[in-house]
Amino acid sequence: MRNLLLAGVSLGVIVPFAAQAQQQPAPPVAAPTPTPAPAADQGGVQDIIVTAAKREQNLQNVPISVTAVSEERLQTLNVTSTANISAVAPGIVFVPAPNPNVVQFVVRGVGTFAFADTLEQSVGVAIDGVPLGRVAGAVVDAVDISRIEVLRGPQGTLFGKSATAGLISIVNNKPNLHTTSFTGRALYGENEELRVQGTVNVPLIQDVLALRVSGWDFSRDGYLNAPKQPDGNIGDFHNMGVRARLAWQATPTLRFDASAEISSNWNDGTTTTTRSYLANDFLSYKGGPTIAQINASMGIVPGPNNRTIGVELQGIGGHVKPQFYQFEGNLDLGAVTLTSLTAYRRVKSDQIADYDYSASQANSYRTYQNYRSTTTQLTQELRLANAGNQKFQYTLGLFYYDLNVPQSSIEQDTLNVPTFPPPYYARGRQIQVTMNTKNYAAFADTNLRLGKFNLLAGARLSREESTGTFNRVSPQYAAGANGQDLSIFLPGSTAVGFPPYFVATSVKYTDFSWKVGGQYHVTSDVMAYVTASRAYKGPGFNFSNDLTASTFALNNAVVKQEIAHSYEVGVRAQLFDHTLTLNASAYRSPFDNFQITAGIPNALGGLTYTIINAGQIVAKGVEGDFSWHPRGALHGFSLDGNFAYNDTKYTDFANAPCFSGQTVAAAPTDTPGICAPIAIGSGATKQSVNGQRTVGSPEWQINLFGGYEHPVTDGLSAFLRTHWFHQTSIQYGVGANPGTLVGGYDTVDLSVGIRDRDDRWKLSVIGKNILDQMYTVRAVTSNPGLVQIIPYEAQSSWALALDVKF
């Protein structure tokens, strides 16, 4: 299969393929979403307007690898949030986590696996043009969106730091000044899944003032077995929110848009199950039961198919509450447009976790963790852009960013030996972290048209200043503060080996990022491009919970900035009267000082997680997509697809940690894949992982979408949509750890239904993973062994959806 696909890529030099085309056009940024005629009535592949360069452009003319996904496609597949974006866009992986503050997006095999709020991500997320400083709250529900754009490769010149691997840009619909409308959806499915959403648009003063309000309420019952929980399961969620947008056309040339969004997202606990046990099950005490024995008493059988969790603590789970306020002004000065964009974002997160142990049996542990954070950010952007039909096009801008991260977490192990005196009954620690980052930047993006050839150039000058504090103390609050069982909290106890500790640190950094390239329009429908770029991800702090004075002394806990270079070529083509789109891109991107969290075995027999810089990784690969929407005898049929081949590996990482259980060589060596002491007689070990794949990096991802629509009466049409997704295996640990290597999988989705041909309503039956393919989306080493995350989508599910529009 690989040879066949690579042969197809070779042909892409002549007739290539690379950015996902959709069936309906997206609107200009400052205008409301139009209601296009259904694609089945139009035929052909419709133009897609994107704002990847912060100006409106036909996607086929954009010289970067970008995918634009419409809300209609997301709804057809019941893709309800950015967490499932890999189901429609190539080259991207979402990696969930028990704590929503440490989930990851991975693009082209590059992501940031860091268990700390003091590092930003390699994959940026922007909502309506505003970059998010932290991933917390970046998993958003797809409600009343115009499109989601996935930009692959460094985006440092226009979107700044934290976009060294790529950017996910969510573009919401703006108010329509002219028309009153309502759109809504109601979906009911298995596991009591219920999704209700609606959007109303009302011109308050015709052509002058309009209000657009969206509301949603999404919920579903748990899907994993939890015999110690009252309802016998875990994995419930309940998301609800409201977004209000106000548009004011103050003059024919001046428009203001204000928006406010508040949402609340609840979950009922960590969804990790035990995959296997470690040899050092040190959490049991003396003659007490091992974790394996405790789990076995509840019928838990560890393994890739384990869907049972032994968690006992009641009321576990979490609550994430994002708030987003934005004010945008656009002044049309004729030849240029002046834009001001001010935004404030606040995300509050509170998570309570209890792991797969049991405190109800003598001589056993209950491990409890409570994590709290409140992230706030203020951004201001001012930019000037000229009209898109000029020979020389430019976007010039200034940017200011102020991020605050106060975070606190508490960990406590409770040993069920009541006869022991309190100092031996429990141990714990509370970590209090603060961080403030200010960033100042000036940027420019230019395009000079010389006949069929375009010269591209961009630059961004940034100044960044960060300060932070780390304070490890005896626990000050715990379960009791959340109405939980007070018996697991003993004030004044301290985790063994991690005494109270306080440090403060700071870092300043100046960066110059750039991009150069060229475009050549072979014909009006065929374009080729080549680009080279540099971007950076800001420095951060190694404030892992296990921080010690010796670790801090190495570099004041500063994690060096991550630098990315990228070289990309691509071609885009539309053929046969725009019924066929074929695009392709190839890239090579070295990343220096790559920031990563790694688990290092400690003296207690467990793992100490710390943040380090890998010397270098290199991402390289090929991406492509096609869209075929024929006319004539095949009118109503459509076939779309995309693929990503990725070969991202460590190229300079000789001091990587060994994984738990790895055989240790007798003498030091730099042979890749061999765990060895750092010196003769030393108990400290390391390994070289040069030549091995990076964390979260599948070799292949493939999507195929098929659709057919046919009139059944003068006013009704029946439709069928299918989707096949293929992903190869992924390594979720640094090195060749067989325990954290997760196998690949294939899923098939189906949507069938009937709709009004004027698009006023649509009734759909939606099947997800209809072949019931079991799979895992994360595996990590965590006491008592290897744990994994099995998503809800790793099972067959069916739902009925009604969409209305008037």
| pLDDT digits 0-9 by tens, 16-25 | 333 333 333 3
- Alpha-carbon distance of 117 to 468, in angstroms, equals 11
| Residue pLDDT, tens place only, 367-419 | 667 778 889 999 999 999 997 778 999 999 999 999 998 877 766 655 555 54
In this model, does residue 453 exceed pLDDT 70? yes
pLDDT tops 90 at residue 645: yes
pLDDT score, position 29: 35
- Among 469, 465, 468, 489, smallest CA distance to 478 is for 489
**What are the pLDDT digits (tens) for 550-593?**
778 878 889 889 999 999 999 999 999 889 999 999 999 999 99
What pLDDT, on the 0 to 100 scale, is given for residue 28?
Answer: 35
Taking the C-alpha atoms of residue 228 and residue 233, their distance in angstroms, rounded to an integer, is 9
Predicted local confidence at residue 24, as pLDDT? 35
Q: What is the pLDDT of residue 671?
A: 92
Look at strands 637-646 and 607-628 and give their pairing: antiparallel
Tokens for 21?
């085309």
Bridge-based pairing state of the strands 123-127 and 166-172: parallel
**Contact (Cβ atoms closer than 8 angstroms) between residue 96 and residue 789:** yes
pLDDT at residue 598, as a whole number: 64
pLDDT score, position 672: 92
Task: Examine the pLDDT at 35 and tell me if it is beyond 80.
Answer: no
The pLDDT assigned to 488 comes to: 43
pLDDT above 50 (res 13): no
Give pLDDT, residue 424. 39
Q: Could you tell me if 726 and 762 are in contact, meaning their C-beta atoms sit under 8 angstroms apart?
A: no
- The better pLDDT of the pair 90, 468 is held by 468
Among 189-193, 410-414, 799-803, which is the least confidently predicted range? 410-414
In which band, very low, low, confident or very high, does the pLDDT at 264 lie, cut at 50, 70 and 90? very high
Give the integer Cα–Cα distance in Å for 530 and 571. Answer: 9
The per-residue pLDDT for range 228-239, each reduced to its tens digit, is 888 888 889 899
Who wins on pLDDT, 93 or 458? 458
| CB contact at 8 A, 83 and 806 | no
Residue 366 clears pLDDT 70, i.e. is over it: no
Percentage of residues in the chain with pLDDT exceeding 70? 82
Cα 138 from Cα 134, distance rounded (Å):
8
CB 99 within 8 A of CB 386: no
CB 169 within 8 A of CB 148: yes
DSSP 53: T
pLDDT for 719 beyond 60 = yes
Q: Minimum mean pLDDT among 618-627, 682-691, 707-716: which range?
A: 682-691
pLDDT value for 355: 62
Q: What is the arithmetic mean of pLDDT over 620-643? A: 92
Looking at residue 315, what is its pLDDT? 65
pLDDT at 790 over 80: yes
Would the pLDDT of 203 be above 50? yes
The answer to which of 33-47, 684-698, 783-797 has the lowest mean pLDDT is 33-47
- Whether residue 518 contacts residue 532, with contact meaning beta carbons closer than 8 Å, is answered with no
Cα distance between residue 511 and residue 162, in whole Å: 13
- pLDDT, position 802: 97
Q: How confident is the model at residue 678 (pLDDT cuts 50, 70, 90)?
A: confident
pLDDT at res. 735:
87
Is the model's pLDDT at 702 over the cut of 70? yes
The arithmetic mean of pLDDT across residues 651-673, rounded, is 88
Mean pLDDT score, 768-796: 88
pLDDT for the residue 139: 78
Q: Is the pLDDT of residue 365 over 90?
A: no
Going by C-alpha positions, the residue among 58, 4, 54 that lies closest to residue 581 is: 58
- Where do the domains of the chain lie, and which CATH numbers do they carry? 2-653+689-805 (2.40.170.20)
CB atoms near residue 500 (< 10 Å): 11
Lowest mean pLDDT among 36-40, 287-291, 342-346, 700-704: 36-40
What pLDDT score does 489 carry?
44
Residues 6+ apart with CB under 8 A from 208: 177, 248, 249
Output DSSP code: residue 122: S
pLDDT grade for 277, boundaries at 50, 70 and 90: confident
Q: What is the pLDDT of residue 584?
A: 95
> 439 phi and psi, to 5 degrees?
-135, 130
Report the greatest alpha carbon distance in the chain.
86
Encode pLDDT of 520-549 as tens digits: 999 999 999 999 999 999 898 888 877 888
Contact predicate 20/68, CB 8 Å:
yes
- Mean residue pLDDT of the chain comes to 83
- Please tell me the distance from the alpha carbon of residue 332 to that of residue 639, in angstroms, as a whole number: 40
Q: Average pLDDT for residues 620-631, to the nearest whole number?
A: 93
Helix (H, G, I), strand (E, B) or coil at 86: helix
Residue 743 has pLDDT above 80, yes or no: yes
Report which of 411, 449, 443 is spatially closest to residue 157, judged by C-alpha positions. 443
Residues 46 and 68: their CA atoms lie apart, in Å, by: 12
Q: Are 767 and 793 in contact (CB under 8 A)?
A: no
According to the model, what pLDDT value does residue 12 have?
Answer: 35
Q: How far apart are alpha carbons 158 and 459 in whole angstroms?
A: 8
Average pLDDT for 413-435:
60
Residue 647 in tokens: 């070969």
Flag whether pLDDT at 215 surpasses 70: yes
- Burial of 667: CB neighbours in 10 Å, binned 0-12, 13-18, 19+: exposed
CB 199 within 8 A of CB 185: no
